Each structure stands twice: as structure tokens, then as C-alpha cells.
Amino acid sequence: MDAKSNDPSVPEDEDLLHASRFRVVRRYRRLPSGTVVAREIVEHPGAVTILPLVDDSHVCLIRNYRVAVGRALLELPAGTLEHGEDPTLCAERELVEETGYRAGRIERACEFFMSPGILNERMHLFVARDLVLGETELEEGEEIERAVVAWDEAMRLVRTGEVQDAKSLVGLLWHDGLLKGRSP
């Protein structure tokens, strides 16, 4: 429960930064002890990530240059939701933009928070099947290459730490658990 909502002695949120895809806010909250604490958080509109299954034994990953870490990461395709956008439509769009694949079927798998200690971003995982390859539609400034790998190779990349992106780890390990008969 958020104690702030009914307590006029708790300060209002403070906007610290507005960026094109997120904002940073200082949020105040009264703890059960009565102490008021401040936390800086990133508010994000949410995002999608897609597990593109090329066939029964291959998955499409991408090599995506990430400025924040100064190198390309091996990832599942993903993208930020536009305000009010349906996550399924966003997943379909991002799949085409980043991989060139169009999905005959796209199914919602699960949702999770990326880093709830500082960020409210909710990630929606989708599984894309019955893929048809076309041209990518990269946005200006994106440095992305398609990388189709065998499923066993994808799991090796996870085990060896070559896949370090959290959303990709969640998506790959979630699906691998299903393949091995474990419930998500």
C-alpha cells in the first residue's frame, strides 16, 4: 500500500528528468515506522520482447549495439511501447523492424518487471511462430544484425554468459523450461 496517497504531509513526486522514452522521478513514501523516505525511480511506458522461433530447432536473436554498455549484445528483439499501444501490435512491429520476420502467429507468454528496485518497466514476452522472412525496417541510429542460431547453441550462449541481456535470458530460459516439461 502506498501511504503517500492519503497523507498530505508526504511531499508530492518531483520530476528530475524527462527524456523521450522515460522520466526520472523522486518519489516520497511514509514507511510503517512513520519515517518519510525518498526514492529516485525511472518511470517507463513498458516494452515488449519477442522470442522468434524460426522452426522447431532455431531461434532468431539479434546483435544490438547498446550505447549504455559500449558494445553489441546478443538479444531477443524488443521495443518500447508507445503511449496506450497494445503490446501485441508493438511486438509485431518490433519483430519486423529488427529481424525482418513477420509472424503467422504471435502469442503472449508472460510479463515481468525488468529492475523493480529503480524502474517500473513491465516487459511483455511474446513467442512468434510461422515466420516469413522479409526486409528489416530499422529505425535511424539502430545497429542491429539478425543472428539465427540453433536452440542448443542459444542455450550454450546462455550457459557461457554470452547472452547477458536480462529480457533475453528470461525469454530463452522461460521457453527452455517449457521444452523440458516445466511449468512457467
Query: Which residues are catalytic, by number?
Result: 140
CB 124 within 8 A of CB 79: no
Instruction: Annotate 19-41 with b (16+ C-beta within 10 A) or e (fewer).
Output: eeebbbbebbbbeeeeeeeeeeb
Is 167 strand, coil or helix? helix
DSSP-derived 3-state class of residue 9: coil
Give me the DSSP letters along 27-86.
EEEE-TTS-EEEEEEEE---EEEEEEEEETTEEEEEEEEETTTTEEEEE--EEEPPTT--
Angle at 60 between CA 73 and CA 74, to 5 degrees: 10
Sign (positive or negative) of CA dihedral 23, 29, 31, 35:
positive
**152/145 Cα distance (integer angstroms):** 20
